[in-house]
Amino acid sequence: MSGKLIMPKQTGQKDAFYASLELLYNSYKNGEKWYSNDKFKVEIQKLLPYLSKGAQDGPYLVKQSELVRYFGLAEYDYSSKPGKSHITDSGIRFYNAYLQNNEKLQLDIIMQAILNNSFGRNNTAIQSSDSDIDPPKLFLKAIVDLDGITNKGLAYLLYVTNDLNITYNDAIIELSKSNNRDREIPLEVSHKYNDVKFTVLLNSLGIVVKNGDVYKLSKYTSTHYLKQIRKLSIYNKEPELVLTLKEEYDETLESQIDEPLFTDIDQNKVISSYAYDITTERFKAQNNRIPAPIKIGKKYRYKTNPRISKTALELANHVCLGNKEHITFVSKLGKPYMEAHHLIPMSAQRDFSINLDRIENIVSICPICHSAIHLGDDATRLELVKKLYDLKEKELKSVSLNISFGELFSKYYK
């Protein structure tokens, strides 16, 4: 996992944001750097009388300033008892811009914070957050990449990138296939990700606008920051899993490719790779690519693309082609867990000029059938491979992978 992702959850209201800044700014003007929580809890209720209604607890009152701290306009000292905070240089500039009714400068200061600050970890608003994901960056970048996003779409992206370690690019591809208003996430995390407060503030400040339930960039943000947002990384540090997922997979495959057992896809290592849209040129280029051998020691290996295997599983509707009655557990992506098997093994690539890492050569099978192919006795393996060959023969021949069953079994499975 990417780590625990915590975001400000108390309020996104503009009045709480400015009232918190006013208290911290006035303290600074009076020569008092630090502002104690005890004093803040009393004074914030004077500025916002509605906070006094009901028995609001101390933490609730202090959290009225969370978004001020989240965007770096104030810092918080967690070591002191009671806690205390102070306005930063950015906060002073922002509040002066507010006093001068300079909305553009306020927006610029918040945008600089989004572009440059860390939000998933080492953020002064949320001490316990320890995630590679920076939600405000993800929010703005997704708006650009998807031409708008809903709260449900944002919740989905936060969930899959942080909790499932699915890469942002793969998540965007998947989300672009459907209406992001309809994306559902598990109930146990729905409140955490569906009730995001910073989007409310960014809307009220004019960084984004909301048309119905869809957020888009405001005209000012689009005019002045579009190029920077396009180049944004949603990560405050590049997560090792995200960066090394394909490399780790390739190295594992390459080290096993000449071994007799399990020479193809280990689905656990590619769980976060989404399927291609088979109508795209990107898919066609990968499916039909020229095999490129890489020499490692004295052996040559052929790299594979995990998304090709995921595409084959999707096209098979996650059904076991070895035995359609075989049922497995539901995977993290909400689909029946199946494994991808190269019918003509990747170890045979040196015998073919046609790329073997392609959907025509990959079958969807359950773990039982996959184990039987590699570990079963000759009779079991013969029966299963013959069944799969009969299902895929026309597809193999359609891409000039001409091989008889007898040749396939005797040469690569015997």
Residue 187 falls in which region: left (phi positive, over 0), alpha (psi -120 to 50) or beta: alpha
Rounded distance, CA 112 to CA 389, Å?
58
Considering only 109-118, 177-186, 228-237, 382-391, which range has the smallest mean pLDDT?
177-186
**Distance between CA atoms of residues 84 and 82, nearest Å:** 7
Q: Is the pLDDT of residue 220 over 50?
A: yes
pLDDT at position 296 is 59
Residue 329 CA to residue 337 CA, distance in Å, equals 6
Please state, for a pLDDT cut of 70, what percent of the chain lies above it.
87
Q: Categorize the per-residue pLDDT at 297 as very low, low, confident or very high, splitting at 50, 70 and 90.
A: low
What is the number of alpha carbons within 13 Å of residue 121 lying toward its C-beta? Answer: 13
For residue 1, give the amino acid letter: M
Query: Which pLDDT band, with edges at 50, 70 and 90, does 140 fall under?
Result: very high
At residue 188, the pLDDT reads 84
Cβ of 236: how many Cβ atoms within 10 Å? 18
**Rounded distance, CA 274 to CA 277, Å?**
9
Q: Residue 117 pLDDT more than 50?
A: yes
Mark out the alpha helices in 71-166 (DSSP H runs): 89-99, 103-116, 135-146, 151-158
What is the pLDDT at residue 366? 93
The pLDDT of residue 56 is above 70: no
Alpha helix locations (H) across 48-130? 58-62, 66-70, 89-99, 103-116
CB of 154 closer than 8 Å to CB of 196:
yes
* Alpha-carbon distances of 294 from 173, 276, 309, rounded to whole Å: 29, 25, 20
pLDDT attached to residue 331: 80
Instruction: Report pLDDT for 241.
Output: 36
> How many Cβ atoms sit within 10 Å of the Cβ of residue 367?
15
What's the pLDDT score for residue 197? 94
Amino acid at 5: L
Residue 206: pLDDT above 80? yes
Name the pLDDT band for 259 (thresholds 50, 70, 90): very low
